Amino acid sequence: MNKPTYNEMLEAGVHYGHLKRKWNPKMLPYIFMERKGIHIIDLNRTAECLDRAAFAMKQMAKSGKKILFVATKKQAKDAFVTERWLGGMMTNFATIRKSVKKMNSIDKMLTDPAISITKKERLTLSREKDKLEKVLGGIANLNRLPSAVFMVDIHHEHIALAEAKRLGMKTIAMVDTNSDPNKVDFAIPANDDASKSVKLITDYVISAIKEGLEERRVAKLDSKEDNN
C-alpha cells in the first residue's frame, strides 16, 4: 500500500480547489492559500486525512464490512457506480435488488444457448439490459447493504450522501473547497474535478481495502489451521 507522495499529489493537481467565490468557509482549515482567485488545498492536511480514511477502510474490509464507491461525475465514473445515482438505491434496497435480479435474468437469456429467443426479442432484451446496467452495473454483486460509502464530490452526490446518513452508514469522501467537510465522517480534502487527482486518491484507498481483505483471508486460514 504505497501512499501518494507530496510530488505525486502535486502532479495530479490534488491541491487545486475552486474559485474563492465558490468556497465553503468550513473548508478553511484545509486551505493553504489563495492564488489568482483559486483556493489551494493544504496537501499536508490531505495526507493526514487520507491516512485516517485509508486506515478506517482497511479495518472495515478486514472485519468483512462492505464499502460502496459512488462517483457518477464524468471525471470519476469509470470504475464506480456509473451514469447516475438512482434515488432510493440504498433506502429502498430490496426493490433495487429485484431490478438487479431482472438484469441478471436477462443476461442469462441472452447468453444461454439452451434458451431460444427470436432476433426481435434479443434486440429488445439487449436494450433493456444496457439500460439497467447504466444505473445498476456498479452494484450488481452487492447482496447486502454496505456498511460505508466512499464518494467523490459530496456536492454532486448529495442524494447518495443523504441516503447513507439516513441509514447510519459511515461516510468517506473526497471533499473540494466548495463543500462542507463536516457532512462526512472521513473527509479527504482534494480536487474532485480532475481525473488524475480522483484516480490517485481512489487507487490508494482501494489498495488499503485490498490489504484489509488479504489480512482477513490470512486470519481465516490461520484460524482453520488452529482448529485442525
Q: Find residue 149's DSSP bridge partners.
A: 68, 171
Handedness of CA 71, 74, 79, 80 (dihedral sign): positive
Q: Residue 80 in contact with residue 138, Cβ under 8 Å?
A: yes
Angle at 222 between CA 217 and CA 227, to 5 degrees: 125
The pLDDT, as a whole number, for residue 79 is: 47
Lowest mean pLDDT among 5-9, 22-26, 137-141, 218-222: 137-141
Mean pLDDT of 17-38: 96
Domains parsed from the chain with CATH numbers: 6-88+145-227 (3.40.50.10490), 93-139 (1.10.287)
Hey, what's the cell of 42? Answer: 493544504
Angle between helices 93-111 and 119-136 (to 10 degrees): 140
Mean pLDDT of 1-27: 95
156-205 tens-digit pLDDT? 999 989 999 999 999 999 999 999 999 999 999 999 999 999 999 999 99
- Residue 199: CB atoms within 10 A of its CB come to 15
Q: How confident is the model at residue 70 (pLDDT cuts 50, 70, 90)?
A: confident
Which three-class secondary structure state does DSSP give residue 172?
strand
The pLDDT, as a whole number, for residue 17 is: 97
Pairing, β 38-41 against β 31-35: antiparallel
Mean pLDDT of 34-39: 95
The pLDDT, as a whole number, for residue 87 is: 59
Mean pLDDT of 42-47: 98
The pLDDT, as a whole number, for residue 80 is: 57
- CA–CA gap between residue 137 and residue 195 (Å, rounded): 21
Q: Is the pLDDT of residue 76 over 90?
A: no
